Homo-oligomer: A and B are copies of this chain.
Amino acid sequence: MTTTTAHPFNTAISLADNGNGHYTGQTTPAYANMVGPFGGVTAAAIVQAICQHPDRIGEPVALTVNYLAPVSDGSFDIAVRAARTNRTNQHWIAEVSQDHGVTTTATAVFGTRRDAWSDTQATMPSAPDPETLTGTTTPEVVPWMRNYDMHYVDGGVPTDSKESASSTTTLWVRQRPARAMDFAALTALTDVFFPRVFLRRGRMLPAGTISLTTYFHVDGAELAQHGTDYVLATAHAQRFARGYFDQSAQIWGRGGTLLATSHQIVYYKD
């Protein structure tokens, strides 16, 4: 007899198909954040729902997820519909809801890629190999972080109340236990950074993502080549402005492939 234990990430994004574009998921303790689940896993579940939809054509190109209210522990409904299907791309609208109302809205663009002149303009940050860096101990109050092996290169979680002039954090990160990269995993990784304001202020304070936008730069075949290796994830802020700051991030494959760029606007109280 063979017993297969599902990877905790697969459990967290596992969806039952209820027909007509409705999918039911369940929050899992493994992906809990301080309030509600990790935003990255909610975004990943939305991508997963669209991927499972029978009308879906192509692969993720762009995704915007808006966090309206915390998802409560328990089941949630993801309703997805194709707003328009073009020749090479498809636009989706998604809403996550629970008994208490809508918690999350999203729009997504799926598309097919073709041969065309291509180039990477951004430069991968230089970093020593992850194996040479110390892993990070996860704070008890943030359960979802235990699902990631994190090796900070720059701008780690502030522990000594020291303010930083830079808002940049760069880390090697991969899923724990190891799991092959796919679009759901990559989506979750775009939200793996602690809030930039913690770094600048040298301490934790109330903060939460309001809206997250990710652009995907590879297709599924290119993404599969990544395997279970670490990605180099880097993020910085452009402006902290009276209660809201922005963050821009890059997710790089170890070999120098820019897998995704991602942006978010974050509420903070200081």
A residues touching B (Cβ–Cβ < 8 Å)? Answer: 61-62, 64, 66, 68-69, 83-84, 86, 88-89, 91, 93, 95, 101-102, 105-107, 109, 111, 113-122, 167, 197, 200-201, 210-211, 213, 215, 217-219, 236-244, 246, 248, 250, 258, 261, 263, 265, 267-270
- Smallest Cβ-Cβ distance to A101: which chain B residue: B84
Instruction: Give 12 A-B pairs besides A91-B105, A246-B261, A261-B263 with Cβ atoms closer than 8 angstroms.
Output: A68-B91, A109-B211, A113-B243, A113-B244, A116-B270, A118-B241, A120-B240, A121-B167, A213-B263, A215-B246, A238-B258, A248-B248
Q: Please indicate the chain B residues that have their CB under 8 angstroms from the CB of A68 in the complex.
A: 83-84, 86, 91
Ranked nearest first, the 4 interchain pairs of A and B with the lowest CB-CB distance are: A113-B242, A68-B84, A122-B238, A64-B64
Q: Please indicate the chain B residues that have their CB under 8 angstroms from the CB of A240 in the complex.
A: 116-121
A105 to chain B, nearest CB (A): 6
A235 to chain B, nearest CB (A): 12
A244 to B60, CA, bound (A): 11
A107 to B52, CA, bound (A): 23
- Smallest Cβ-Cβ distance to A63: which chain B residue: B211
A118 to B237, CA, bound (A): 12
- Given A117-B240, A269-B116, A210 and B61 touching (CB < 8 A)? yes
| A118, A167, A197, A200: most-surrounded residue (chain B CB, <10 A) | A118
- Smallest Cβ-Cβ distance to A242: which chain B residue: B113
